[in-house]
Each structure stands twice: as C-alpha cells, then as structure tokens.
Amino acid sequence: MIRVNKLNKSFGQLHVLKGIEEHIKKGEVVVVIGPSGSGKSTFLRCLNLLEHPTNGEIIFEGASITDPKNDINKQREKMGMVFQQFNLFPHMTVLENITLSPIKVKKMEKSEAEKIAFRLLKRIGLEDKADSYPNQLSGGQKQRIAIARALAMSPDVMLFDEPTSALDPEMVGEVLDVMKELADEGMTMVVVTHEMGFAKEVGSRVLFMDDGKVVEQASPRELFENPKHPRTKDFLAKVL
C-alpha cells in the first residue's frame, strides 16, 4: 500500500530522516516507537506529504506521490490522519466536523454525509454528542470524534501520531479500543505511540526509530522480548 524509498528529510541544516526504506502492506498495523526527536512524526507527516521529503520517493497505491506532477489531494483523501492534539474545528459542532470533508472534498450530499456521520458516532458510542462543540467534550471523546472524522472519508490507511499522549490516563483505553476495533476490521494503520500494550496486542510489526533511521523492526513479540540493537534495548529498558 505504501512504499518508501530512500526517504530523507532535512529542516535547514538539521538532517531528520536519514534514508528510510519501508514497505507497508494492506491490512498491516505498523507501530512506530522511539525516543522523542527521533523523527517519528516527521516520518508520518512525510507519508501524506504534510512534510515534503528533501529526497526519496513515496509510492502510495502504486502512484508516486512525491512526483512533482502528482496531485496529492486525491491520495490524501485516502489517508486519514489523527493527531495528538485532536485538531477539531472549535467553531463547528461534532456533526459539522465529521461531515465537512465529505461534503466539501467529496461533494457528498449533506444528508448522505450526515447518515455516515451518525453511523460512525454510533460505532464510537457518541451519538448524543452530534450537536456538541469540541470544548464541551472530554479529551477521550474529542479524539474518538477525530478518528470518526478521518473515517468519514473512507480512507485506505489511517495514520496516528501519538493519539493518546495528550489524554488523561483514564481516557486512553477508550481511544485505544476504537483503534483496536479498526485494526480488527482490517484497516491498514501506521501508529506512532508509547502504548507498548497496544503495540504488543495489535501491532503486526513494530519499527524502532532512533536518530532518523529505522534501527530495528520485528514482530511485537520478537522486538519486545528479544531486541537486537543496543539502542532498542536501551529504549525498551526505559519504557517497559
């Protein structure tokens, strides 16, 4: 579904991603872990060109999205993204947040978009919040709405950047549960997280990033129980 060839990204003099090679297959849940500043967010943001790679190539569903002739907007519709800070539109209701892109970008009828939105709200247990504004919701609710908003576009892949890091501990579970369900349904997912329990239970593969490189990758079991690289061992010793 996504192929990453020799991806490099620099911000000025700062070389942040150093030749990443990756292949994400349909239906995989790829969990990305690693220390702060190792380039996890930049990697994720490069996948949908929120950050433009300095060089290298990203191929999504067979199309080179880094090709200057490519129109990224079409592919972006197929890539849902969920951020640490939710990024809901504060002046819009939950329903408006969820239906905005389907109506604006996909030119969907409002009634159809609302039907889909209510189906998603029901699924995440927040049907009664359709007319609420984001500031009337808890962090966990906001993040579930952000996930629903991304799903309303029927993406082929979901990218999550530390979706539970801004949440109070008691709300982490409700968000992870929604993500687990998605994974069970076969959604292709790339998840940057510090939730090692989630990585173990749901991940098909774990990538350990350090200093702009994927230093080691393996199945969750293999990586957590038998890390090979000293930096992976060192990191896991601190977080597990």
Q: Which residues bind Mg ion (CB under 5 A)?
A: 40-41
Strand order from edge to edge, sheet including 29-33:
79-82, 157-161, 188-192, 29-33, 205-210, 213-218
CB of 69 to ligand ADP, least distance (A): 25
Q: Give min distance, CB of 46 to ligand ADP, in A.
A: 9
Binding partner selected for residue 111 from Mg ion, ligand ADP, none, CB under the kind-specific 5 to 8 Å limit: none
The partner in contact with residue 80, picked from ligand ADP, Mg ion, none with C-beta cut-offs of 5 to 8 angstroms by kind, is none
Nearer to ligand ADP, 6 or 52 (CB): 52
Strands 188-192 and 29-33: parallel
Report CA torsion sign: 98, 93, 193, 48: positive
Smallest gap, in angstroms, from Cβ of residue 215 to ligand ADP?
Answer: 13
For ligand ADP, give the closer residue by CB, 38 or 141.
38
- Binding partner of residue 193 among ligand ADP, Mg ion, none, CB cut-off 5 to 8 Å per kind: none
Q: d(Cα 36, Cα 198) in Å, to the nearest integer? A: 19
* Dist CA 21 CA 7 (whole Å): 7
For ligand ADP, the closer of residues 44 and 124 by Cβ is: 44
Beta-bridge partners for 75: none
Tell me whether residue 41 or residue 75 sits nearer to ligand ADP (CB atom): 41
For ligand ADP, the closer of residues 11 and 89 by Cβ is 11
Residue numbers at the binding site for ligand ADP (CB under 6 A):
11, 14, 16, 34, 36-42
Q: Give the nearest distance from C-beta 44 to ligand ADP in angstroms.
A: 8
Residue number with the shortest CB distance to Mg ion?
Answer: 41
β-pair partners for 220:
none
134 binds, among Mg ion, ligand ADP, none (CB under 5 to 8 A by kind): none
Q: Closest separation between CB of residue 79 and ligand ADP, Å?
A: 18
